[in-house]
Amino acid sequence: MREILLLKLGEIVLKGLNRGMFEQRLVKNLYWRLREVGEFEIYCLQSTIYVEPKSEDVDMDAAVDAVSRVFGIVSICRAAECEKDMDIILQTAKEFLYDRLEAASTFKVDAKRADKKFPLKSPQIMIEIGSALHDAHPHLKVDVEKPELRVKIEVRDHKAYVHANPIPGAGGMPVGINGKAALLLSGGIDSPVAGYMIAKRGVSLHGIHFFSYPYTSERAKKKVLELAEKLTKYNGRLRVSMVPFTQIQEAIRDHCREDMFTLIMRRFMMRISERVARMNDCRALITGESLGQVASQTMEAMGVTGAVCTLPVLRPVVGMDKEEIVVIARKIDTFETSIQPYEDCCTVFTPKHPKTKPRLYDVEAEEKKLPVDELVEEAIAAIEVITLD
Ligand code: ATP
Ligand code: MG
């Protein structure tokens, strides 16, 4: 008896998309994400993806763990594969589900016969397997509405499969199917969540981080890379452009009005990010901004900072409360890293009374005091790219 995984895809999502492309991409992503767990054969048949270990010593718990973070999958069935023979199917069900049948108090058997040449029809398979399992575990009650254990027998073209109670998948669409976007990644709670949410919509990410050495430390940089590493569990490979920002911040501090410091700084971030995005084939920028969270995240401030770029700026957490963002941060395991107390360049030289309702005209006038293009070019020339996977 071999244990394999049967993965079910998001059906509704498939309607408007090219199904073949969706499936191919998902298979490719799965190969990549399982490469460290072991060797697998992965293929798609009749809207189900088969993940079959090539050897017996593969850790299937680790495989399930990795697969549960791959977008595009609605549910994961840990299934036992067997020959298409009723005695063998029954024996497989008895062995493979023994502990779970013992632990449950109610159950039900469903059967699906994809191979129409199989001599028994689905209802007959259900009745035969159901009553035999009942005989073997007499404490069980049948509950057709809400069984604790929903046993499923699938008779497909090549083999039969036995599984019960699928595990929820990560949902969403396969990463890469909807292009790539650039994630402005700080060390905070919000931006990793924003990246996760857009990746879930089938978008691969390119990270951009601004650091201001020596105002921000080497440790703060490491923290950001640790967050990026955690995102790779969902997003796959992630490249992060590390942008030195000290010179720009010092120039703003030395020449511009204090109450506009943050706004002008953020406009520089957006300009540089747009350039990095275009160099890396990205079609949008992503930030972790949330409406009204801080002075630079009012509608007026977002208008002023967004005015320097032409790519769309995606702000998936814009309407969420901090508590809602934290729930996701915990789920994707970035929260504990995000709350480590290392400074971000946004907290260097922050004004005491930042403008909350800036006017674009005033900010542009203030910015004219700086050699904007030159500063942008210098920062871009000094970018270091780090690859995480
Ligand atoms: P986060 O929790 O993600 O740090 P925040 O609440 O601290 O967000 P801000 O510091 O104002 O908010 O930043 C808003 C957004 O700007 C961040 O979510 C991120 O997308 C971007 N950003 C801020 N600092 C940096 C940085 N050093 N490098 C890259 N992007 C940044
Ligand atoms: Mg921040």
Q: Is the pLDDT of residue 115 over 80?
A: yes
Question: Which residue CA neighbors atom 31 of ligand 1 most closely?
Answer: 186
Atom of ligand 1 nearest to the CA of 290: 6
Which residue's CA is the closest to the ligand 1 atom numbered 4? 188
Domains of the chain: 2-171 (3.30.2130.30), 180-388 (3.40.50.620)
For residues 90-95, average pLDDT: 97
Q: What percent of the chain has pLDDT over 90?
A: 86
**Ion ligand 2 residue ranges (Cβ < 5 Å):** 186, 188, 344
Q: Is the CB of 195 under 6 A from ligand 1?
A: no
How far apart, in Å, are the Cα atoms of 104 and each of 77, 109, 154, 352? 18, 13, 21, 61
Q: Which residue is closest in CA terms to ligand 1's atom 2?
A: 188
pLDDT 10s digits, 41-85: 999 988 899 999 999 999 999 999 999 999 999 999 999 999 999
> CA geometry: angle at 381 spanning 378 and 384, to 5°?
125
User: Ligand 1 pocket, 249 CB below 6 A?
Assistant: no
Neighbours of 258 (CB within 10 A): 15
Question: How many angstroms is it from 59 CA to the middle of ligand 1?
Answer: 38
Higher pLDDT, residue 265 or 16:
265
pLDDT exceeds 70 at position 15:
no
Residue 201 confidence class, pLDDT cut points 50, 70, 90: very high
The answer to whether the CB of 287 is under 6 A from ligand 1 is yes
Q: Is the pLDDT of residue 11 over 70?
A: no
- What was the pLDDT predicted at 63? 98
**pLDDT above 60: residue 12:** no
- Secondary structure of the chain in HEC code, one letter for each residue: CEEEEEEEECHHHHCCCCHHHHHHHHHHHHHHHCCCCCCEEEEEECCEEEEEECCCCCCHHHHHHHHCCCCCEEEEEEEEEECCCHHHHHHHHHHHCHHHHHHCCEEEEEEEECCCCCCCCHHHHHHHHHHHHHHHCCCCEECCCCCCEEEEEEECCCCEEEEECCEEEEECECCCCCCEEEEECCCCCHHHHHHHHHHHECCEEEEEEEECCCCCCHHHHHHHHHHHHHHHHHHCCEEEEEEECHHHHHHHHHHCCHHHHHHHHHHHHHHHHHHHHHHCCCCCEECCCCCCCCHHHCHHHHHHHHCCCCCCEECCCCCCCHHHHHHHHHHCCCHHHHCCCCCCHHHCCCCCCCCCCCCHHHHHHHHCCCCHHHHHHHHHHCCEEEEEC
Average pLDDT, the chain: 94
Percent of the chain with pLDDT over 70: 98
**Choice among 167-181, 318-332, 344-358 with the minimum mean pLDDT:** 344-358
C-alpha 288 – ligand 2 centre gap (Å)? 8
- Among protein residues, the one with the nearest Cα to ligand 1's atom 17 is 288
Ligand 1 contact, 188 CB (< 6 A): yes
pLDDT of residue 274: 98
The per-residue pLDDT for 290 is 95
Residue 292 has pLDDT above 90, yes or no: no
Question: Mean pLDDT, to the nearest integer, of 147-156?
Answer: 96
Cβ of 209 below 6 Å from ligand 1 = yes
Which ligand is nearest to the Cα of residue 262, counting in written order? 1
Confidence bin at 19 (pLDDT 50/70/90): confident
Task: Tell me how far apart the alpha carbons of residues 129 and 89 are, in angstroms, rounded to a whole number.
Answer: 8
Q: How far is the CA of 58 from the centre of ligand 1 (A)?
A: 40
Residue 246 CB partners (closer than 8 Å, separation 6+):
212, 213, 214, 215
Testing ligand 1's pocket by substitution, the residue of 346, 347, 356 carrying the most ligand atoms inside 8 A of its CB is 346
pLDDT of residue 209: 97
Ligand 1 atom showing the smallest separation from residue 208 Cα: 29
Q: What is the pLDDT of residue 322?
A: 96
Supply the residue whose CA is at minimum distance from atom 14 of ligand 1: 289
The minimum-distance atom of ligand 1 relative to the CA of 338 is 2
Q: What local confidence, expressed as pLDDT, does residue 13 receive?
A: 57
Ligand closest to 188 (CA) is 1
> For the segment 338-371, what is each residue's pLDDT rounded down to a tens digit?
999 887 777 778 888 888 889 999 999 999 999 9
Q: How confident is the model at residue 192 (pLDDT cuts 50, 70, 90)?
A: very high
Identify the band that residue 14 occupies on the pLDDT scale cut at 50, 70 and 90: low
State pLDDT tens for residues 153-173.
Answer: 999 988 999 999 999 999 999
Read off the pLDDT of residues 298-317 as tens digits, 9 standing for 90 and up. Answer: 999 999 999 999 999 999 99
pLDDT value of position 172: 94
State the angle between helix axes of 246-255 and 372-381 in degrees (0 to 180), rounded to the nearest 10.
Answer: 160
13-27, 94-108, 191-205: least confident range:
13-27
pLDDT of residue 295: 80
- Identify the weakest region by mean pLDDT among 13-22, 270-279, 374-383: 13-22
User: If you measure from the C-alpha of residue 234 to the centroid of ligand 2, how many angstroms do you get, rounded to a whole number?
Assistant: 21
Q: How far lies 149's CA from each of 64, 105, 154, 235, in Å?
A: 19, 8, 16, 32
How confident is the model over 228-235, as a mean pLDDT?
96
